[in-house]
Structure 1
Amino acid sequence: MGFKKLNNILGWVMFIIAAMVYLLTMEREFSFWDTGEYIVSSAKLSVTHAPGAAFFQLVGAVWSGLAFGDGSKYGILINAMSAICSALTILFLFWTITHLARRIIIKDVEEQIVGTNKFIILLSGIVGAAAYMFSDSFWFSAVEGEVYAMASMFTALMLWLACKWENDAGKYRENRWVLLIALLVGLATGVHLMAILVIPALCYIYYFRHYDFTWKSFAIANVITAVIFVFVFKFIFSFSMTMIGKLEVFMVNELDMPFNSGFIVTLLIFAAVFYFGLSYTRKKGHLTANTFILATLFMLVGFSSWLVIPIRANANPHMNLNDPDDAIGLLDYFNREQYGDWPVFTGPLYTAHIDPNGVETNPDGSYKIKDNGPILKKNEKKGVYEEVGRRTSYVYNPEHIGLFARMYNPMPDVISNYKAIMGEPDRYEAYNPVTGEQEIHYIKPSLWQNIQFFLDYQVGYMYLRYLGWNFIGKQNDFEGNLEVTKGNTITGITFIDNWLVGGNQGELPSKFKDNEARNVYFAIPFILGIVGFFFQLKRDPGRNFALISLFLLTGVGIVLYTNVKPFEPRERDYAVVTSFYVFAVWVGLSVLAIYSVLKTKINPKTAAIVASLTLIAPILMGFQNWEDHDRSERRAAHDLAYNYLVNLNPNSILFVYGDNDTYPLWAIQETEQFRDDVKVVNYTLLGSPWNISQAKRKTYNADAIESQMTPEDYKQGVNEGIIVLDTNLMGQIFEYAAENNEGLYQQILPLKQYADNGMTAKEAMDFILEKNNPAKMALINELKMVYSSGIDNVLPTNKIIVPVNKQKVLENGIVNQRYADQIVPNLVIELKNRQIGYKNELFMLDVLANYDWDRSIYFSSGGLYDDVNIFYLNDYLAYEGFIQKLVPIDTGSVSTGETGWVDPLEMYEHIKNYQWSNFNDPNAYFDPTSTNNILTYRNAVTRTARVLIEYGEKDKAKEILDLLEEKIPYRMYPEGISLFSLVPVYQSVGETEFANELQTFLNDRLEEENAYYASLDPYAKSTVYNDIQRNIGQQQYAVAGMIDFYLNAEKDTIKAFEAFKNYYIPIETRLKNMRDRIRTTGFEGLSDADHEQLSTDLSLQRSILPYAMEIDSTYAEQKFNEMVDLINEIDPRNE
């Protein structure tokens, strides 16, 4: 059989194998993060987060049609689309590798390939394509409905077409490949902009095919490549969007034309330019210029898929993020304005945000602000784009602006991470003549420190670590933040891993050692890739350079451009997956490299057999990776969404906060129409006017949220900063006015009643929205003399009262009749911030102002970390597992210190309604994002069981405890604190044997982990500091739980004392043994591991001993004195 036919057949065989692998292992519904959003956008042609994925949506809409209206099938179909796109990527990769291998062996494309050469070329394709097929990051994207699988397919397709184009170089149809590639570049922007990064590689392939290498021609080729890349990336697409936006404003605002005139005029201009350009170049015979113009036209034709975004935004689908329904909105959407800007080569460093002089100031002491132009919004009534604000930025002190600004982010937690990685910045003190005080000033990180951060963290940790995951080996699936125990690259060879990662990798606790995502390849694929790279570099440097350009741009280039900050909320390996594609090409070419070397020394057929051993690499990768890439039995995201919604009262409102408590809920509502009577509102997005508008309209069977605000009240630039004055401040203002300004005092006197007594939420909203209140205007004018920032509005109290309609509360099931006597007449809310600084807070006040208890309001537990997220309603929450319900009962004094009051009988029924994500299936794999929700399941059962026991319902408590263990066995998911809290509950229902078994199991695991941490050297131990403190906290929690159980539930002081000693005595014994050793050998006789164990035990002793005070204060005092003596003798700090 001829090479060409065999090449085609084997390519399709690889496609079939890949398709089977991905279809078998793909998720059956939807995953966490953005997949729920993209599935909805495909099924319903909705608008996703910026910058969108128009072409992905269009193709997804076609695939969704295969569900024939069965919404429950949308998830699996869009996941299958990703699987097929990924399989096509493997197909094109195979053909690309065989093309490159063939070019190394035979320069003439027409020459036939025969014998062993044919076998080796095809084997190269198989090994490289299979290595990528089973690679960690690509497989991850291949089995979920996200854009990265299709984006990879476009990249692979364009690179393969470049190979076809190269074969036809000099033929009449050569430029047809150029035009097809140009069309695909345009279409690819409707999937993900990273596909554009293939352009330089295409340019280099063209150069090395058409020109002989000289340094001069190579330099010119680099300049032309850069120009073409910038032209495509920054001109064709960005300029087109900008031109439409600018012309739209000009036509509408200056020429009184109707909306969308700018788009029509832009289209006419483009049509004229292309018509005359093509006519002229064809007439004059300028073939290259003609092809260039045609290629630009084809890119724009592909890019036109973007038009689906404003078209669908105008249709106002239920998911319409950013609402880019006009030219200006679409431009902001394309430019990702909502995400802000960041420096790439120069800009302010993080010290500008912590140094008193980091921002330049005006003579009056206010910060200098740079005006970056107007913010325009469409005003339908006036028929113009009106200015609603200005785009502004601070003018930073040049002393804090640096070249190659890698450490730039202003967020306090990110600044802490910069310091943790690179050390504290240098500082000095200086006298401030204005305040009369000494101030601490900071010196910006140097250029070398920024380079070091780039090389060590951004490239080393956030790229090379991911490269290692795919071709060397992966430690586990825990998200890594520089710990020696989580998410590192390993080989599986202990002494190498100890050098590579640190710590003792051969002695890892079972929590890490037995992790399903621990995959070791012994670095075999990586070594093969390096061999293939150098082989191609030597034998075919031109095409090698083309691959290098793609490898660097899609790897280090992306890290450089995105300026990755520490530590991201999730691993970002999916963003650099194209560079792994290139590396897989080199893995494939290693087969040819090995064969080429061996055939000069042994028989070619024998050399081919030896080269075939490279198949071990992808086979090993497949076996190692299958378990943790098989999502076929996973239902975590789907069941999480189900559990959020299933128990809510009809026609409820649910406020959610992050990606993983928003997108899954939208997905299950939009695709399965499950509980579409619930109004799910993302609180974070409510900071944007477009989302407030969407919350105020009916969606499916969910009623609109009652609101008295009009779009004029919450549009951008209006009510941005509302000052909140508490009783103290209002008192000071009245006192000052009474003594110094009688006119002001009389003007603001009507506000005194609010300052003294508070306002109802309705009064507060009326006051904020009132335009001509003399008292308010007088107060605002006075405040403007105090506050340097702009003041839009004011609230003369921080005490907000929400009246309760008791009858409706009971009628609508917000509170069960049995708790009617606990219903309060009013909710009293204390606003703790001095400012309502964001629209989401204003909207929450608006909701409460117009709330008459005719529907339930719930909050996702994901927002409880900050009181403002629930508008300071902490004292009026009922705990319902995954969510909290607003109830007119004062629940603030929960004895356990937990948030929310528990109705045990209602929660008992809720828990029985849960779906459990298939956690008890030993063949199902769940990543940490999925297993994080186990804490919520266990907390729900634990808290409910505790209260059921108090109510005398031990049988019901035991029933749900048994259900929990059946559905989430503790040995399969042995994470600590949620299990420690279960131990005393099992004791309470009489399951003493099981409780002791669980306690022993947990103690053994903690001891195992603590022993490992104690064995680490100081640097390695510093990386796991948080885990050490967590373990100490868990042991402390376990002691507190057991003592509380025996003292309060069992009323048994003796058992409480025994429980305490079971924890305390082993620690005390180890410390006394250490003291005896120190007395004999001195501190110098201790090993590093001894020092670390000593430090851990001292921390444990200090944290646990105070609990003895609750049992026997005399004993506690005695042990405390002994501890002081012990510490004085053996604590190294007292040496």
Structure 2
Amino acid sequence: AFLLAVAMLGIPFQGTGWTQVLSGMVILFLLWLALRWKLKKEQKLVSMVTTRIKNTTLLCLLMLMIGYSSYALIVIRSSANPPMDQNSPEDIFTLGNYLSRDQYGDTPLLYGPAYNSQVALEVEGNMCRPKIKQGAPIYDRKEKVSPDEKDSYFVVDHKSQYVYAQNMLFPRMHSSDHAAAYESWMGGVDGYTVPYDRCGEPIMVKMPTQLENLRFFLSYQCNFMYWRYFMWNFAGRQNDIQGNGEPEHGNWITGISFIDNAMLGDQSKLPDDLKNNKGHNVFYCLPLLLGLIGLFWQAYHGKRGIQQFWVVFFLFFMTGLAIVLYLNQTPMQPRERDYAYAGSFYAFAIWCGLGVVALVDLLSRKLKRQTLAIPVAVAVIALLVPIQMVSQTWDDHDRSGRYICHDVGQNYLSSLQEGCNPIIFTNGDNDTFPLWYNQEVEGFGTDVRVCNLSYLRTDWYIDQMRRPAYDSPSVPISWPRLDYCSGTNEYVLVQPDLKEQVKELYREHPKEAAEQFGDEPFELKNILRYWVRAKDENMHVIPTDTVYVTIDKEAVKKSGMMMATDSIPDKMVISLKGKNALYKNDLMMLEIIAQSNWTRPIYVAMTVGSENYMNLGDNFVKEGMAYRITPFTTNAPGAKNFDAERTYHNVMNRFKFGNLKQPGLYIDETNMRSCHTLRQLMSELAIELIKEGKSDKALKVLHKAETEIPDYNVPICYVNGGVNMARAYTLLGQKEKAKEYLRKCFDYSSQYLEWYLSLSDNWFAQSTRDCLTEFYIMQAIQEVAAITDRQLGARYQKLMDNYYRRYTARGGQMPLE
């Protein structure tokens, strides 16, 4: 595969076009001559290797070549520069980074820091700086001035990692970003303290003990992140809601009441939406028992049996617990990781099959008879196990008729202004991949440029943004590649203390200052050009905590955006207060805003977290499922931050709802969040329309929400806009309808409180925060109920008081005001 790749593609960066092909052919010819000479020489010697060994060796090499040849597809595809080209692995170095998963960083395995470890410091002059271990160089391609220029690499940076002062063997609690999560999972870490000199300041550092470290490894990494998944497949599963140690989410169960109740609390008192969850599967441990029978039968079935046992066991171990050891996972994973261990479950399934053989063998020996009736009877009885499994898991494997992900992706694209080549910033997988699918496969919204903020911190993704894609022109980024390549401008410090010095320089030497930093020192374009991209790396700072963009008012008028205020401001002010540094994706986001000049609409998906807003939240206007970035300060008195007319048009005429009307549709947790987002948006839209005096349109939106997102598939509750729906109906004078929504919301929270209050003392202590959340929700429901119907409000208040008493009687405490 390697030789073929060289013959077809040539040596990377050694010539172009036919030169590459010819260089590859020359290498093949030289290798052929060398092998021919070697073979002739070996013919004179007596062969010490048998034909069988040669054949086996050649077959092994052939299999390796076939396997590794699949990587050629990655390079060939990437060389074509498609719109989606993750990591852009089109040369030897980027392919190496792609295959070694460099973007995910390194985790210590045998020796390394704990989560509280401090970086070792070294004195340099009058300062202390962190000790950094420099690794292998990072290469990048040199950008050619002309096509005839020879291709070459250059070193842009070196891989590096901090050296820590405190380390331990087999560090399982290693991530400083998850310190609180480690402490929470362990119920507190006692640890031990070690002295540490922090640049002349003696402090004590708390390190977990080796016993605590091993306890976390066994309780979380092995038990929770492997054996729980294992038991899902061979004992039973509580539901498909991602769990983080709660008694009601994602645990393994058996289906045998007294066992499950002893482990997790009375399962009959779970809220209805969890009891009716399609991911609730019970196998009564039958597959587990069958597998254990097969395991022990194979292990004790003579010499041949134990040999076969070790083959299956190592397959089971290497695709299961060995992966646990290697991944060294942290708490609060973004999703369940059961898929990582599928090979291990397949291996155990072999033992399940052997369990049937074992039962036949044991019965034949016990009865001392060899008849066909015994295997037939055992097979029929054993067949009940997979039948039980199929009957339980069919409903949560049936995706037929479900188009939520597909339609929500289209709804994001439909929310954006048409015909203007808009740009939308996304952040996570769930608000990016559905959009990519619709563009790539369905050809929908191809004039939109989807820009993922997580990827925007990498040079390969910025390269892609600078190229046209589908029907979308390139994103307005003016930086040369050298200014954003890997290792350059990864982050830039915000130093507002330099602001006064810059002002003083402009007062004393205005002409020289203007030549060096531009006419307007704190204009965003000038900051990015003269400071962030300065040739002197010492100048790579932002000398202010407030920058601004000069507004082209004519461009704003032509943009088609809603005028949030009566007048267009002269400047758009962007506050950087509270930020110590801006990372590359932050800088790119600002660059796109600065260069777009309002000629292309720029949006942020409504599911992007506020920590990624770059303090632009005060300039957002909601249009459907996206926030439009505007030059207006939309949180000012009298300003508008919701384009109700455009959102109404999108919701009523352009949005799709994933066939949610189909009864019995399987909606997992991820898709349910999208349903919540849709209903919440429609409830907010209805209230906004009522504020604008458009009651008839508000009623149509409420009716569409009821029709397209029915309660029997998406239960009404606070988090998906149920209370807002009730408030809207109250404002429209339909109080009976409002009370129906309030009742459903209150019942939903009541069921969860009843569940928490039924738990054992240990589980209840871990659920007090969840109890408080439900109290806050009930308070919000009660306030709307009091406006809708005084008697209903009083009734809910009485029920809340009763829950308060029961909660405090169990030892629960309300937070201090």
Q: Same fold (TM over 0.5)?
A: yes
Once residues 25 and 331 of structure 2 are traced to their aligned partners in structure 1, the CA distance between those partners, rounded to angstroms, is 45
- Report whether the alignment pairs 1:361 with 2:122: yes
The residue that corresponds to 1:1062 in the other structure is 795
Residue 457 (structure 2) aligned to one of 671, 687, 697: 687
C-alpha change, 1:426 and 1:262, in structure 2 (3 Å) is: farther
Contact residue 534 and residue 540 of structure 2 kept, 8 A:
no
The residue that corresponds to 1:507 in the other structure is 269
The residue that corresponds to 2:500 in the other structure is 731
Partner of 1:639, secondary structure, is: helix
Once residues 454 and 526 of structure 1 are traced to their aligned partners in structure 2, the CA distance between those partners, rounded to angstroms, is 24
Contact residue 456 and residue 585 of structure 2 kept, 8 A:
yes
User: What's the offset of the Cα at 1:645?
Assistant: 0.5
Superimposed CA distance per residue, residues 713-745 of structure 1 (whole angstroms, 9 cap, x where no aligned partner): 21223333433332x54337888x99xxxxx98
Q: Which has the higher contact order (CA 8 A, sep 6+)?
A: 1
Q: Unaligned 5+ residue runs, structure 2?
A: 145-149
C-alpha change, 1:653 and 1:1015, in structure 2 (3 Å) is: same
The residue that corresponds to 2:647 in the other structure is 907
C-alpha change, 1:761 and 1:435, in structure 2 (3 Å) is: same
Once residues 737 and 310 of structure 2 are traced to their aligned partners in structure 1, the CA distance between those partners, rounded to angstroms, is 64
Residue 185 (structure 2) aligned to one of 418, 421, 442: 421
C-alpha change, 1:709 and 1:733, in structure 2 (3 Å) is: closer
- Report whether the alignment pairs 1:699 with 2:439: no
Once residues 315 and 27 of structure 2 are traced to their aligned partners in structure 1, the CA distance between those partners, rounded to angstroms, is 33
Once residues 351 and 492 of structure 2 are traced to their aligned partners in structure 1, the CA distance between those partners, rounded to angstroms, is 60
The residue that corresponds to 2:722 in the other structure is 979
Structure showing the higher helix proportion among its residues: 1
User: What's the offset of the Cα at 1:642?
Assistant: 0.5
Partner of 1:764, secondary structure, is: helix
Residue 356 (structure 2) aligned to one of 584, 588, 591: 591
Note the 1:979-1128 alignment, pairs <5 A.
979-1042=722-785, 1060-1068=793-801, 1094-1095=810-811, 1099=814
- Report whether the alignment pairs 1:671 with 2:444: no
Contact residue 375 and residue 390 of structure 1 kept, 8 A:
yes
User: What's the offset of the Cα at 1:609?
Assistant: 4.3
The residue that corresponds to 2:100 in the other structure is 335
Deviates more, 1:581-590 or 1:477-486: 581-590
The residue that corresponds to 2:73 in the other structure is 308
- Report whether the alignment pairs 1:441 with 2:205: yes
Contact residue 478 and residue 486 of structure 1 kept, 8 A:
yes
Contact residue 260 and residue 326 of structure 1 kept, 8 A:
no
The residue that corresponds to 1:383 in the other structure is 151
Residue 694 (structure 2) aligned to one of 953, 957, 960: 953
Superimposed CA distance per residue, residues 505-557 of structure 1 (whole angstroms, 9 cap, x where no aligned partner): 23222222111110111111111111111111111111111000100111111
Partner of 2:159, secondary structure, is: strand
The residue that corresponds to 1:855 in the other structure is 600
C-alpha change, 1:335 and 1:432, in structure 2 (3 Å) is: closer
Q: Unaligned 5+ residue runs, structure 1?
A: 1-185, 187-236, 739-743, 781-790, 1047-1054, 1075-1089, 1107-1135
Residue 711 (structure 2) aligned to one of 957, 970, 987: 970
C-alpha change, 1:873 and 1:269, in structure 2 (3 Å) is: farther
Partner of 1:879, secondary structure, is: strand
The residue that corresponds to 1:930 in the other structure is 671
Residue 607 (structure 1) aligned to one of 350, 374, 380: 374
Letter in 1 for 2:668: D
Contact residue 258 and residue 383 of structure 1 kept, 8 A:
no
Contact residue 697 and residue 703 of structure 1 kept, 8 A:
yes
Superimposed CA distance per residue, residues 259-308 of structure 1 (whole angstroms, 9 cap, x where no aligned partner): 89998898779878877888859955433542224412431233112112
The residue that corresponds to 2:560 in the other structure is 813
Letter in 2 for 1:878: V
User: What's the offset of the Cα at 1:938?
Assistant: 1.6
Once residues 596 and 385 of structure 2 are traced to their aligned partners in structure 1, the CA distance between those partners, rounded to angstroms, is 63
Once residues 25 and 141 of structure 2 are traced to their aligned partners in structure 1, the CA distance between those partners, rounded to angstroms, is 17
Partner of 1:952, secondary structure, is: coil
Once residues 403 and 228 of structure 2 are traced to their aligned partners in structure 1, the CA distance between those partners, rounded to angstroms, is 29
User: What's the offset of the Cα at 1:746?
Assistant: 6.5
Contact residue 411 and residue 655 of structure 2 kept, 8 A:
yes
Once residues 110 and 684 of structure 2 are traced to their aligned partners in structure 1, the CA distance between those partners, rounded to angstroms, is 52
C-alpha change, 1:921 and 1:900, in structure 2 (3 Å) is: farther
Once residues 464 and 477 of structure 1 are traced to their aligned partners in structure 2, the CA distance between those partners, rounded to angstroms, is 16
Partner of 1:863, secondary structure, is: coil
Residue 655 (structure 1) aligned to one of 425, 445, 463: 425
Note the 1:118-267 alignment, pairs <5 A.
none
The residue that corresponds to 1:298 in the other structure is 63
- Report whether the alignment pairs 1:800 with 2:547: yes
The residue that corresponds to 1:393 in the other structure is 161
May I ask how many residue pairs the two structures share in their alignment?
A: 789
User: What's the offset of the Cα at 1:1037?
Assistant: 2.7
- Report whether the alignment pairs 1:626 with 2:394: yes
Contact residue 495 and residue 544 of structure 2 kept, 8 A:
yes
Partner of 1:361, secondary structure, is: strand
User: What's the offset of the Cα at 1:1095?
Assistant: 4.4
Residue 567 (structure 1) aligned to one of 328, 332, 337: 332
C-alpha change, 1:264 and 1:375, in structure 2 (3 Å) is: farther
Q: Name the TM-score, length of structure 2 as normaliser.
A: 0.88
User: What's the offset of the Cα at 1:375?
Assistant: 0.9
C-alpha change, 1:267 and 1:480, in structure 2 (3 Å) is: farther
Residue 875 (structure 1) aligned to one of 618, 626, 635: 618
C-alpha change, 1:433 and 1:465, in structure 2 (3 Å) is: closer
Once residues 875 and 729 of structure 1 are traced to their aligned partners in structure 2, the CA distance between those partners, rounded to angstroms, is 26
User: What's the offset of the Cα at 1:1066?
Assistant: 3.1
- Report whether the alignment pairs 1:526 with 2:285: no
- Report whether the alignment pairs 1:865 with 2:610: yes
Once residues 374 and 783 of structure 2 are traced to their aligned partners in structure 1, the CA distance between those partners, rounded to angstroms, is 68
Superimposed CA distance per residue, residues 644-663 of structure 1 (whole angstroms, 9 cap, x where no aligned partner): 00131121111111111111
User: What's the offset of the Cα at 1:850?
Assistant: 1.4
Once residues 265 and 550 of structure 1 are traced to their aligned partners in structure 2, the CA distance between those partners, rounded to angstroms, is 43
C-alpha change, 1:274 and 1:1066, in structure 2 (3 Å) is: farther
Residue 658 (structure 2) aligned to one of 881, 901, 917: 917
Once residues 264 and 331 of structure 1 are traced to their aligned partners in structure 2, the CA distance between those partners, rounded to angstroms, is 24
The residue that corresponds to 2:347 in the other structure is 582
Partner of 1:522, secondary structure, is: coil
Once residues 798 and 538 of structure 1 are traced to their aligned partners in structure 2, the CA distance between those partners, rounded to angstroms, is 72
Superimposed CA distance per residue, residues 21-66 of structure 1 (whole angstroms, 9 cap, x where no aligned partner): xxxxxxxxxxxxxxxxxxxxxxxxxxxxxxxxxxxxxxxxxxxxxx
Letter in 2 for 1:871: M
C-alpha change, 1:415 and 1:996, in structure 2 (3 Å) is: same
Superimposed CA distance per residue, residues 1076-1110 of structure 1 (whole angstroms, 9 cap, x where no aligned partner): xxxxxxxxxxxxxx6665545x63xx79xx9xxxx
Once residues 37 and 258 of structure 2 are traced to their aligned partners in structure 1, the CA distance between those partners, rounded to angstroms, is 68
C-alpha change, 1:482 and 1:749, in structure 2 (3 Å) is: farther
C-alpha change, 1:1001 and 1:846, in structure 2 (3 Å) is: closer
Once residues 70 and 78 of structure 2 are traced to their aligned partners in structure 1, the CA distance between those partners, rounded to angstroms, is 14
Contact residue 725 and residue 834 of structure 1 kept, 8 A:
no
Once residues 48 and 583 of structure 2 are traced to their aligned partners in structure 1, the CA distance between those partners, rounded to angstroms, is 60
Once residues 130 and 558 of structure 2 are traced to their aligned partners in structure 1, the CA distance between those partners, rounded to angstroms, is 54
Once residues 347 and 1042 of structure 1 are traced to their aligned partners in structure 2, the CA distance between those partners, rounded to angstroms, is 56
